[in-house]
Structure formats: C-alpha cells, structure tokens
Amino acid sequence: MSTGFALSGGSKPSRRLRFREDAGLIARIQETTCKMHALSDQQVVHYVDQLRESVSSGTEVTDLDLLEAGFSLVNEAVRRTFGYTYYDVQLLAGMILTRGGIAEMATGEGKTLTAALPAFMHALKGHGVHVASANTYLAERDQELLQPVFERLGMSCGLAKDQATPEVKRPAYDCDITYATGHEFGFDYLRDQVSLRGAEHQKLGKKFLSRLAQPVGQRARMQRGLAFAIIDEADNILLDDAVSPLLLSQQSSKTAEDAALYIAACDFAATMAEGDDFFIDPRTRQLLLTQSGLDRAHAALDEQLPLELLQHPWAQYVEQSLKARHLMQRDVHYIVNEEEEVQIVDESTGRIFTDRSWRDGLHQAVEAKEGVNITGAKLSLARITRQRFYRLYGGLCGMTGTATGSESEFQHVYGVGVAAVPLRCPSRRVVLPTVYFPTRDAKWDAVAKSIQERHREGQPILVGTRSIADSWQLASILEDHQLPFQLLNGRQDAEEAEVIASAGEVGAVTIATNLAGRGTDIKLSAAALECGGLHVIAGERHTSSRIDRQLIGRCARQGDPGTAQFFVSAEDDIPVQHSPAIAAQMRRLTQQHTCPGQFDPALRRIQQRIERRHETQRRDMLRMDLERDSVLAKFWGEN
C-alpha cells in the first residue's frame, strides 16, 4: 500500500495526517480484528466501555493505540453484522476523518460504511456525533444500515427526521450518533436558538410555570450541543449549498394579501422591452431596470390597484416579475407540481426542494407568472450562513468524491485539509473525447443515436442532463426511436434509488438530472460487465467541474470497466451565458465538421472563472455574517 500521500491545504498540526504510520497501523488493525473473532458480544461491549473510560480520562481519539483498538472493534462489529470487513483504503479514509480531514473517496468505494469509524471514535467522548447527509433518503438509509453495527458496540444511533416535532427529535439527539440531513441539523440549531430567545423574554412567573410543565429531566433544547460532525457529500453540503444561508421562517398566510399587485406587475412586465426598459447582464444573469423602465413603471401605477397593500416599492414588484419572466424557466429552475405549487429545483443536482422558496417576492412573482395561488411571503425567524454554522462544531470532517480543487476553501473557511484516498483497484474508466454540435437539437439527436448503438450491444447507459426540461426532450426522442428507458428527474426517495441501482443491468437506459440518485451504488451484473460496463453520457458541461466529475464517476467503480463521454452544443448555457465568442466559434466550426475535444480547454477556463466567482460569493457571505454579529454584539454590549 502506498504511503506517499500528503494533506493538502495546510491543516492544523493536531489534524495532520500521518500516512507512514498508517500503513503499519492498518496491518495491526486487521490482525487485531482477527483476534477478536473469538470474543463474545458481551466482551466486545466490555472493551468499548474500557475505551470510553480511557477517553474520559483524557486520551485523544487520534492516539495510535486507541485508533487500533477502536477501529478493530468497529471492523469486528461490521464483520458480525454484514459478513465482511473493511478494506485497507476504507480504514485509511477512516483515519483521515477521525483526525478531522476531508477524505476524497471515489464513487463506490464505501463512504457510508467508512463513516462508522470516525462516528464511533468521537462518540466515545460522550458528547454526541452528528452525521449529515445530502438528503432525507440517504440519512434514513444510512442510519438504518449502520444501527445494528453501533448496537453491537453498545452505542445508540438515532435519526432526526426532517420536520419532526421536538418531542420526537430530542431522543434522537440524545443518542451517541445522530443521522439527519445537513440542513436539518442547522434548522434545529436555529429552532433551539429561537426557543431559548423566547424563554429569555418570558415574564418570571411564566418562565417558572413553563419549567414546571416540562417533563422531569427534559431540557428545553433539542440538541445537546455541536460536538463533532461528519459530512457526507461534503462538497455539496459545505460548498454548493453554502451559496444560500439557512433561513428559519414561517408562512405568513396561504394567500398573499398583495396578490393583486403581483398579478398587475406580471401583466405590466409583459409589455416591457429588453434594452429599453431593462437589461440583463449575460455573465452574472442579473436583471436591472433602466431609467426609462423605472419611469414607465411609476407611470403605470393605477389608482384602481390596492396600493395600501404594497409591501415593497412598486418597482420591486415589476423587477421581480421581469426576473420571473426572463430568468426563471419552468422545468429548469422550478416545477409546478400536481397540487399547482411552485417548487424550486436545485441547479447543481436537479433535486426538487419541497420546503424552500425564493425571497424578496421572487417566489410570488413566479406564482403569478404560472397563474397559481400566490402564497404569502415567509416571515424570517432566524438565519445563519452554513459556513458559520458548521464552524460552530468542536470538530468537523467530511467525505466526497470531488474535493480536490477546493482545498483552499475547505481549509480557510472550515479549517479542514483534504487528502485523496487511493483506489482499492486501478481504474478502468475510459473518457471518450467530447463532441460538439451547433444546436441543442443536433446534440440530443446525436445522443439518441449513440444510445441506440450501445443499447443494441446490451451496454447499460446512464444519461445525465442539466435540467428536467432536457430530460423530457431526450425522453421524447427515445420514445420516437422506440427505445425503452427509465426517467428520473428530481425526487430522491426509495423508488428513485431502486431505479438508479438497477441502471447497471444489461440493456438498461436511464435518464436522470445530473446527480439524481447521488449516493446510491450502481452495481453491474456479470453480463453487463461483459458488454463493457456502464456508459455515462453527460448532456452538457456544468458550471462546476466537480459536478461533471461526480457524474462520470458513476461508471467504472471499484475496478469495473466503464466509459463516459460529454456532448456539448453551442446553445448550452456555459458558452451562451459566459462566452458568446466561444459559442459563435463553436457554432461556425461544428456546422462544417466535428471537432472532438477542441473546445475543452476554453470551457474549462470558463468553469474555473465561474468557480472562483462562486467561492468569492460564499466567502463574502460569511464575512458579512461575521461582521453583522460583531456589530450586534458591540451594540448589545453598550446597552
């Protein structure tokens, strides 16, 4: 096993990774695990109790002797539960996590099971460990999978379900290890803060009575504290989701009082002309009214409108209506579900958010555009940036398949370094040259032809699309070609995971928004391996190269064969929005002949530029959050 790996990002000395020591330590863990086969279940729990006492006396969980004993116990518990033990690379990843680092593990290398190692080690301290997942399904699946392992070790394991009551969640937080979505941990922290803030403002008599009504031994907060967190899909939770803060809010009313104003603004926006009344920055996609547009908007104020219900300046209603009309695309940025509700689509993953809404009237403007019920704006109760929330933990670590390239942000924002874990088996993935086309229609026709050829050979195919609309367009083309397929475009649940898991069968064709089913293993049948393994088609370059790498990482897992290829057109979002000159050149050259790979360097430069801008936005948001708290603390200190 190679030991020449170093931690990227300049980690703190206490979290430094020691690979030279780890090679021998891993061998000792496997040997000690073999010796534990003869132990009874009671003896295993007895050894865990001894480790608890050792940690409570001051021994660090990163001590080599403690690591050997703790990892061996978890290894043995896994063997008794599932019939197999950890691979050496999983143990290495577990050490990276236990010491507070980000472990980059390729798709299919066993991140879920690996998380049990740091969870157990830090749970020995008795303060609780939070394991954060990217979505509800993964949190429920992982907790159910690993609960028997932790129970064999005498540890409790709970699930803090999204939107559950405090009475249901409190026992889950009292467990040694608690699973939940990353955002739910943050929202529960905010709920606790709101609850404590409310208690502080109660009159003395009411505070006393509320304490009497509280069950004996039950604390007011749900969470015990923020001791240690393990972040699954760390790039998604700590970077992609961090572009927006955690905002705890409540619905003011089912129907907005100013609904008539949004409808009027929507109708007026349809009469405004781009260039004269407003302009859109093609690089940032920001929309602003011109002076002419402002004058027209104010001149259009009708005395018959219920102006007494204005909750924003009239120009803001008009501007948000223009954004809804020109920037927000149905089945790209949002969907309208069967209940005629507008639901946001995560542009990074294609995931549908059932409980989120846009702020400052944009959500209501989109509802007016779609002709559905215009809901009341949500009232803000508390907020915190995700960066600042995760910095509150006493310790932090994470796993992802795509951490390299973001080492600086992980280090400077969260104080964690990045280490790439070697593959268990050499990769056999073949990434074919990117092919370019003048139009989106030409691109999807070529994708359908490629699917038809590979399907004829029986090779399983997974197609990743940037948007729901694209997935439907491709589905329509495949129907015309009478090709069977499965379509996934948004919801992460057990049914979706089942479809993704079966994408490795012979002849399977699966269309999905880029990361639908992320976290679900695609296992290949023996016949599919003979057909060349899974073939992944990426229907467009994403603004983040990490998303592209996650998608093609679905094929050729654990030494399996597999292929991947990108299909890009001059009408895709990246060239059109971020480099019109590249789009024009691509359109001109692809009309004359194919140019495999020719524009790869240019698109990569565009991605790097966008990634730098997004990182700057995230850091600025954290800085403003910290500065605001500093000002408030000074204000309250002076008063």
Using one digit for the tens of pLDDT, what is the confidence trace for 331-369?
A: 889 999 989 999 998 876 677 887 788 988 999 999 999
Say if 65 falls within a structural domain: yes
Does 169 share its domain with 293?
no
Question: What is residue 625's predicted lDDT score, i.e. its pLDDT?
Answer: 85
pLDDT at 634: 64
Residues 334 and 411 in one domain: no
Beta-strand pair 561-569/435-437: parallel
pLDDT of residue 302: 73
- Residue located via tokens 């699946």: 141
3-state secondary structure of 65: helix
Q: What is the pLDDT of residue 214?
A: 53
**Residue 631 resides in a domain:** no
468 shares its domain with 561: yes
Assign residue 233 a region: left if phi > 0, alpha if psi is -120 to 50, beta otherwise?
left
Predicted local confidence at residue 4, as pLDDT: 31
Query: Among 234-238, 356-360, 382-386, where is mean pLDDT lowest?
Result: 356-360
Structure tokens at 581: 């000159």
- In this structure, the answer to whether residues 243 and 265 fall within a common structural domain is no
Same-domain status, 20 and 139? yes
Phi and psi based region of residue 361 (left: phi greater than 0; alpha: psi -120 to 50; beta: remaining)? left
**CATH code, domain carrying 274:** 3.90.1440.10
397 vs 218 pLDDT, higher one:
397
Residues 351 and 449 both lie in one domain: no
Q: Does residue 281 form part of some domain? A: yes
- pLDDT band for 204, please (50, 70, 90 cuts): low
Would residue 633 be called left, alpha or beta, if left means φ above 0 and alpha means ψ between -120 and 50 degrees? alpha
Least confident of 246-250, 483-487, 568-572: 246-250
Amino acid at 454: R
Distance (Å, whole) CA 565 – CA 429: 11
| Residue 359: count of CB within 10 angstroms of its CB | 13
Residue 449: domain span: 428-603
- In degrees to the nearest 10, what's the CA dihedral of 164, 169, 172, 177? 80
189 and 87 in a single domain? The answer is: yes
Q: Which of the 8 DSSP states describes residue 393?
A: S
Residues 358 and 507 in one domain: no
Q: Residue 204: inside a domain, yes or no?
A: no
Nearest C-alpha neighbor of 549 from the set 350, 401, 422: 401
626, part of any domain: no
Amino acid at 32: T
pLDDT of 14: 35
Residue 405 sits in the same domain as residue 340: no
What tokens were used for 15?
A: 């979290």
| Of 16 and 223, the one with more pLDDT | 223
Q: Residue 108 has what pLDDT?
A: 86
- Residues 117, 241, single domain; the answer is yes
Burial 463-473 (b: 16+ CB within 10 A, else e): bbbbbbbbbeb
Say how far apart CA 322 and CA 542 lie, in whole Å: 25
The CA distance from 280 to 216, in Å, is: 59
Give the separation between CA 78 and CA 112, rounded to whole angstroms: 12
Average pLDDT of span 498-507? 85
Closest CA relative to residue 349, chosen from 494, 493, 468, 513: 513
Gap between the Cα atoms of 414 and 408, Å rounded: 10
Highest mean pLDDT (candidates 125-139, 374-388, 495-509):
125-139
Query: How many structural domains is the chain composed of?
Result: 3
Residue 441 domain-assigned (yes or no): yes
CATH number, domain containing residue 532: 3.40.50.300
Residue 206's pLDDT band, with cuts at 50, 70 and 90, is low
Strand locations in 363-434 (E) = 378-384, 395-400, 418-420, 428-431
Confidence label for 6 from pLDDT (cuts 50, 70 and 90): very low
The CA–CA distances, whole Å, from 238 to 243, 336, 383, 618 equal 9, 28, 16, 10
Closest to 109 in 3D by CA, of 125, 133, 129, 86: 86
| DSSP E strand stretches across 134-226 | 157-159, 177-181
Residue found by looking up tokens 């400052």 in the block: 360
Q: Alpha helices, DSSP H only, in 306-457?
A: 314-326, 362-370, 386-391, 407-409, 440-456
Task: Indicate if the pLDDT at residue 517 is higher than 60.
Answer: no
User: Distance (Å, rounded) from C-alpha 67 to C-alpha 85?
Assistant: 16
* Residue 244 pLDDT level (bands cut at 50, 70, 90): confident
What is the enclosing helix (H) or strand (E) of 435? Answer: strand 435-437
Kindly report each contact of residues 616-621 with a partner whose C-beta sits within 8 Å and lies 24 or more positions away, as own/partner.
617/243, 618/239, 618/242, 618/243, 618/387, 618/409, 618/413, 619/409, 619/412, 619/413, 621/242, 621/243, 621/245, 621/385, 621/387
In a domain, 6, yes or no: no
- Average confidence (pLDDT) over 605-612: 94
The pLDDT assigned to 12 comes to 37
Per-residue pLDDT at 522: 84
**Residues 55-91: tens digit of each pLDDT:** 999 999 999 999 999 999 999 999 999 999 999 999 9
Average pLDDT, the chain: 88
Q: Taking 50 as the threshold, does the pLDDT of residue 311 lie above it?
A: yes
| Residues 21 and 162 placed together within one structural domain of the fold | yes
- pTM for this predicted structure: 0.88
Cβ contacts of 548 within 8 Å, gap of 6 or more: 538, 541, 542, 566
Question: Residue 135's pLDDT band (boundaries 50, 70, 90)?
Answer: confident
Neighbours of 361 (CB within 10 A): 24
Beta strands 278-280 and 129-133, pairing class: unpaired
Question: What integer pLDDT is reported at residue 478 of this predicted model?
Answer: 97
Q: In this predicted model, what pLDDT tens digit does every residue of 423-448 receive, in sequence order?
A: 999 999 999 999 999 999 999 999 99
Answer whether residue 459 is part of any domain.
Answer: yes
Alpha carbon separation from 408 to 7, 326, 405, 411, 416 (Å, rounded): 12, 35, 8, 5, 9
**Per-residue model confidence (pLDDT) at position 211:** 52
3-state percent breakdown (helix, strand, coil) of the chain, nearest 5:
50, 15, 35
In whole angstroms, what is the distance from residue 524 CA to residue 534 CA? Answer: 7
Within this chain, do residues 122 and 56 fall inside the same structural domain, yes or no? yes
Using alpha carbons, select from 182, 135, 112, 111 the residue that is nearest to residue 492: 135
Instruction: Please report which confidence band the pLDDT of residue 15 belongs to, taking 50, 70 and 90 as the band edges.
Output: very low
